[in-house]
């Protein structure tokens, strides 16, 4: 993706480091207008719509180090966007394709103008495609792909269980990976994939192959947590079985090791049981697995690497939850 930032003739600006809002999710460079009283982002960000999650080009603009009772208007191409004040000093400006002029006006005599160019297709994920089973999303460039459904694992950086997806280099490209504008890592032939932990709300994942292309993915981190509440569950006296609070199911606690016919690999697993004649729809990490009933009272549940969420839903009446650690997702048969 190629972007250009153009200052209008006769308008001076200098670049500083300022702490912006969640638009950039990090400290980033911004430009301050000639008046010294306003600023705007120095580069266009790809920001998810707060309702739909669809990416859209945007910048942030507002007051720079405002004094008490400061006030200004922010407009885009002559149309008022917002009024900013000392207590609410910035606004998100959603840009259009082509030339965009953002004006931050203190009064009729004092105003700073910032210009941005957005090329058609910038920030778009419309060219991305999906695998037949819907589990993988491939970038339009063909240079990367990512898992669709978040898993749950311990984030070493925070010490908390968090949602994550995996991002893969789809060749031997050199891809600089960012999450919400913050550099994460670099993918290459020697480092072909990485877990990407998700914050609460929408997350923008980008993989830039220099100035040649930038791949985008959007993932919902929910409330930032990934482990369901299992506090009502109980255990057998010997600790080998965990019973759901509803009393409708139970599962083995310690993982065994068996050949997973679906993958052809040996993987850790636990057994899940229907504790009666209930109709239970079983899912693992949000993916439907099977249905338990009087005629099919139990099933093995193979575990992926990291933490696994197992659910057993009895229609809309109840949902039983279990959490199991799949380690590295591999095991050795005895």
- Every domain of the chain and the residues it spans: 4-118, 129-220, 234-325
Q: Count CB atoms within 10 A of the CB of residue 244.
A: 24
Task: Report residues of the chain scoring pLDDT below 50.
Answer: 1-22, 24-27
Are 129-220 and 234-325 the same fold in CATH? yes
pLDDT recorded at residue 181: 85
Please state which CATH number belongs to domain 4-118.
2.60.40
Q: Does domain 234-325 have CATH number 2.60.40?
A: yes
Tell me the chain's radius of gyration from C-alpha atoms.
25
pLDDT recorded at residue 18: 44
Return the beta strands (E) in 134-212 as ranges.
136-138, 144-147, 151-155, 160-169, 175-179, 182-187, 193-197, 202-209
Instruction: Judge residue 3's burial from the number of C-beta atoms within 10 Å of its C-beta, 0-12 exposed, 13-18 middle, 19 or more buried.
Output: middle
pLDDT digits (tens, 9 = 90+) for 93-139: 999 999 999 999 999 999 999 999 998 888 889 899 999 988 899 99
pLDDT digits (tens, 9 = 90+) for 165-182: 999 999 999 999 999 889
Backbone angles phi, psi at 138, to 5 degrees: -105, 130
pLDDT recorded at residue 70: 95
pLDDT recorded at residue 223: 86
User: Integer distance in angstroms from the first to the last C-alpha of the chain?
Assistant: 51
Asked if residues 208 and 169 have their Cβ atoms less than 8 Å apart, the reply is no
In CATH, what class is 129-220?
Answer: mainly beta
pLDDT recorded at residue 159: 78
Separation between Cα atoms, residue 10 and residue 45, nearest integer Å: 25
């Amino acid at each position: 993706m190629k972007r250009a930032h153009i200052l209008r003739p006769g308008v001076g600006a200098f670049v500083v480091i300022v702490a912006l809002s969640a638009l950039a999710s990090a400290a980033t460079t911004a430009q301050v207008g000639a008046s010294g009283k306003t600023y705007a982002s120095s580069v266009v960000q790809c920001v998810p719509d707060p309702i739909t999650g669809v990416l859209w080009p945007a910048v942030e603009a507002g007051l720079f180090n405002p004094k008490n009772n400061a006030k200004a208007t922010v407009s885009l191409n002559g149309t008022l966007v917002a009024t900013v004040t000392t207590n609410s000093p910035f606004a998100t400006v959603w840009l259009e394709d082509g030339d965009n002029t953002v004006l931050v006006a203190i009064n009729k005599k004092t105003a700073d103008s910032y210009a941005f160019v957005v090329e058609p297709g910038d920030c778009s994920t419309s060219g991305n495609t999906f695998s037949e089973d819907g589990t993988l999303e491939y970038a339009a460039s063909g240079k990367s792909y990512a898992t669709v459904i978040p898993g749950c694992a311990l984030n070493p950086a925070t010490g908390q269980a968090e949602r994550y997806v995996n991002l893969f280099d789809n060749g031997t490209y050199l891809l600089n990976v960012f999450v919400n504008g913050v550099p994460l890592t670099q993918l290459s032939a020697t480092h072909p994939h990485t877990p990407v932990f998700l914050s609460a709300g929408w997350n923008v994942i980008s993989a830039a192959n220099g100035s040649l292309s930038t791949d985008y993915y959007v993932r919902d981190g929910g409330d930032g947590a990934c482990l369901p509440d299992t506090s009502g569950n109980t255990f057998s006296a010997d600790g080998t079985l965990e019973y759901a609070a509803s009393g409708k199911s139970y599962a083995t606690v310690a993982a065994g090791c068996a050949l997973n016919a679906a993958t052809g690999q040996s993987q850790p697993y636990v057994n899940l049981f229907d504790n009666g004649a209930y109709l239970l729809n079983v899912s693992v990490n949000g993916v439907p697995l099977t249905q338990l009933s009087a005629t099919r009272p139990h099933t093995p549940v193979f575990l992926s690497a990291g933490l696994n969420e197992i659910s057993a839903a009895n229609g809309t009446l109840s949902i039983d939850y279990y959490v199991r650690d799949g380690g590295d997702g591999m095991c050795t048969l005895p």
